[in-house]
Amino acid sequence: MLIVDRVSKKFNVNGKEKIAVDNVSVKIKKGETVCIVGPNGAGKTTTVKICSGFVSPDSGNVYYDSISLLNRKKYLEKISVLFEGIRSINWALTPLENMEYLSGLRGIKKNKKDIEKYIEMFELGDYKNQQCNSLSRGNQQKVAIACCLCLETDAVFMDEPTLGLDMEISHKIIKILKTYAQTNKKIFVITTHDSDFIEEIADKVLIIEKGKIMFEGSCEEFKAVQNTNTFKEAYLKYRGVL
């Protein structure tokens, strides 16, 4: 289980104190996919960066199976992270080489068969030996996600994995992640504005505003509260747009 325990974070912005994360607590079970939703600047990415060790909280703590975030080495062994996907890969390397290289950085030795599984999963067979700088934006994003998943950690954090992708590529990535999450019983924590993504993959939704969790529950529960048929309608109604 991933436990976020009363985490808070403030930043100084132009001489003014800004609360980015305000006493956030949540428990996420193994096999659960959680989508974090909210307006820009709500604290979604900061929350994920705290949970993944990129930002230190001012107070509170995060645990994975009783391993504290403060025990940095052991905690980070349990997680993998995707931020700004295409910037996380080496563009001079091929998809195969990126997976070998990034696994090696984590001290994980991958044989060709291990990596080919992810090449096949993301339909990258025709591109596996091409430098990533020659690939389309969609295929670069697939490589980045494949590199993240091939580490096979217990918990995976992703920041807007379908951002900027066309509908076809986005649909394929949703399908892959949904199947992977259900099959491997991993924890996924994903920030996204993609309502189709949320409807398809989320077991739980966290709606964050001004650093606080305003709603925690399933898509169906949120739609019932707002009396709508889709998550997009429910969220827009909640925000006062509909």
> 134-143: per-residue pLDDT in tens?
999 889 999 9
CA 197, 102, 85, 139 dihedral sign is negative
Domain count along the chain: 1
pLDDT tens digits along 90-106: 999 999 999 999 888 88
Predicted TM-score (pTM) above 0.85? yes
| Mean of pLDDT values over 144-161 | 92
8 A C-beta contact, residue 211 and residue 22: yes
Angle at 208 between CA 48 and CA 160, to 5 degrees: 45
Question: Torsions phi, psi of 166, nearest 5?
Answer: -75, 170
The enclosing domain of 64 has a CATH number of 3.40.50.300
- Domain span including residue 141: 2-238
Token digits of residue 176: 């892959």
Any residues with CB less than 8 A from the CB of 17 and at least 6 apart, and which?
10, 11
Q: What is the DSSP code string of 99-132? A: HHHHHHHTT----HHHHHHHHHHTT-GGGTTS-G
pLDDT tens digits along 232-241: 999 999 999 8
**Beta strands 2-13; 59-64: pairing state:** antiparallel
Neighbour tally for 17: CB within 10 Å: 8
pLDDT tens digits along 45-91: 999 999 999 999 999 999 999 999 999 999 999 999 998 767 788 99
How far apart CA 158 and CA 189 sit, in angstroms, is: 6
How far apart CA 198 and CA 118 sit, in angstroms, is: 23
